[in-house]
Chains A and B, each alone.
Chain A
Amino acid sequence: MTGFTGFALRRAVGAIVTLLAISVIVYVVFYATPGDVAQITCGPRCSPAQVHQVAQQLKLDDPLYVRYWHFLQGVVAGQDYSTGTSVERCSAPCLGLSYRSDRQVMQIILGKLPVSLSLVLGAMVLWLLLGVGTGVLSAWRRGRLTERALTGVTLAGVATPSFVIGLVLMIVVCGQLELLPFPEYVPLSADPEQWMWNLLLPWLTLALGEAAYFARLTRASMLETLAEDHIRTFRAYGVGERSIVGRHALRGALAPIIALNANDVGAMVGGAVLTETLFGLPGIGQELVHAVNVVDLPVVVGMVLVIGFFVVLANAVADVLYAVADRRVVLT
Chain B
Amino acid sequence: MSEALVAVEVPGASASGTSGARQFRRRLRAQRAALVAAAVVALLALIAVAAPLLTAIEGQDPTTYHPSLVDSARGGVPIGSFGGASAEHWLGVEPQTGRDLFARLVYGARVSLGVALGATAVQILLGVVVGITAALGNRWVDQLLSRISDIIVAMPLMIMALALLAVVPGSFPRPVLVALIIGFVAWGTIAKITRAATLTLKQLDYVAAARLSGWSTLRIARRELLPGLAAPVITYAALMVPVNIGIEASLSFLGVGVKPPTPSWGQMLSSADVWYQAAPQYLLLPAGALFVTVLALTVLGDGVRTALDPRTASRLRVGTGHKGEAKA
Contact = CB atoms under 8 A, between A and B. Distances in A.
Interface stretch (B83-91, B120-128, B165-173, B201-209): B165-173
A269 B323 contact: no
A102 to B, nearest CB: 20
B316 interface: yes
A132 to B, nearest CB: 16
Overall SS of chain B's interface: helix
Interface stretch (A63-71, A190-198, A315-323): A315-323
B269 A270 contact: no
B81 interface: no
A322 B246 contact: no
A263 B188 CA distance: 11
Nearest to B316: A223
Contacts of A159: 242, 291, 294-295, 298
B215 interface: no
A61 B261 CA distance: 37
Given A159-B291, A167-B272, A292-B165, A315 B1 contact: yes
A60 to B, nearest CB: 14
B315 interface: yes
A292 B273 contact: no
Interface string A268-282: 011101100100000
A277 B254 contact: yes
Contacts of A265: 154, 156
Interface residues of A, number: 71
A271 B158 CA distance: 8
Interface in B1-35: 1-2, 4-5
Given A18-B150, A293-B255, A273 B160 contact: no
Interface residues of B, number: 56
Interface in A11-29: 18, 21-22, 25-26, 29
A269 B154 CA distance: 11
Interface in A40-90: none
Contacts of B256: 289, 292-293
B133 to A, nearest CB: 18
Contact of A155 (B169, B255, B283, B299): B299
A171 B284 CA distance: 12
Interface string B160-197: 10111111110000000000000000000000000000
Contact of B250 (A161, A291, A297, A315): A161
Contacts of B155: 22, 266, 308, 311
Interface stretch (A1-9, A92-100, A199-207, A252-260): A252-260
Contacts of B158: 267, 269-271, 273-274
B4 A322 contact: yes
A227 B154 contact: no
Interface in A117-166: 142-144, 155-156, 158-164
B254 A273 contact: yes
Interface string B298-326: 11000000000000100110011111011
B69 interface: no
B250 A163 contact: yes
Interface of A: 18, 21-22, 25-26, 29-30, 33-35, 142-144, 155-156, 158-164, 167-168, 170-171, 175, 223-224, 226-227, 232, 235, 241, 255-256, 258-260, 262-263, 265-267, 269-271, 273-274, 277, 288-289, 291-293, 295, 297, 300-301, 303-304, 307-308, 311-312, 315, 318-319, 322, 326, 329
12 contacts: A30-B167, A161-B266, A163-B250, A164-B269, A167-B273, A265-B156, A270-B156, A288-B162, A289-B255, A304-B163, A307-B156, A318-B2
Counting from the closest, the 4 A-B pairs by CB-CB distance are A270-B158, A159-B295, A266-B156, A259-B2
